[in-house]
Amino acid sequence: MTETLFTKIINRELPADIIYEDDHCIAIKDIAPKAPTHVLVIPKKPIPRLVDAAEEDQALLGHLMVAAGKIAAEAGVGDAFRLIINNGADVGQTVFHLHLHILGGKEFSEAQLGF
Ligand code: 5GP
């Protein structure tokens, strides 16, 4: 199977600004930030989209959420951040390896659900 872009980053085959790593995920700074703080939390398991996650991935998905809270705090946005998962090309998913966007450091309007 061809490695995803993010698997190459996880395996250090491509460079990235890695700010967190544990046994199950890494967090990197987004290369094209849409907010002052824009971090991607990426499972080491290359699940293409959220809807491709299976029952066996429940603990991993929970781990990503808990990790995201800690990573956001460490990235300096405290408890004010937005967490986004793009599922599918039609809503803007471009890298088909599941990832959570942590966005913070700016105000988001209530109506603005995207970046
Ligand atoms: P998506 O649109 O799939 O939800 O998000 C993919 C994100 O990955 C985008 O915000 C994009 O800027 C980011 N990205 C794409 N290629 C790279 C890369 O090579 N390095 C890093 N750090 N981020 C990337």
Q: Where are the domains of the chain?
A: 5-106
Only one residue has tokens 């980053």, namely 9
Q: Count CB-CB contacts under 10 A for residue 64.
A: 22
The residues, ordered by sequence, that sit 6+ positions from 1 with a Cβ below 8 Å of its Cβ are none
Report whether 85 contacts 100 (CB < 8 A). Answer: yes
What's this model's pTM, rounded to 2 decimal places?
0.96
5-56 pLDDT, tens digit per residue, is: 999 999 999 999 999 999 999 999 999 999 999 999 999 999 999 999 999 9
Looking from the CA of residue 28, the nearest atom of ligand 1 is 22
Report whether 115 contacts 23 (CB < 8 A). Answer: no
CATH topology of domain 5-106: HIT family, subunit A (3.30.428)
Q: Is the CB of 15 under 6 A from ligand 1?
A: no
Alpha-carbon Rg for the chain in angstroms:
14
- 101 Cα–ligand 1 center, Å: 9
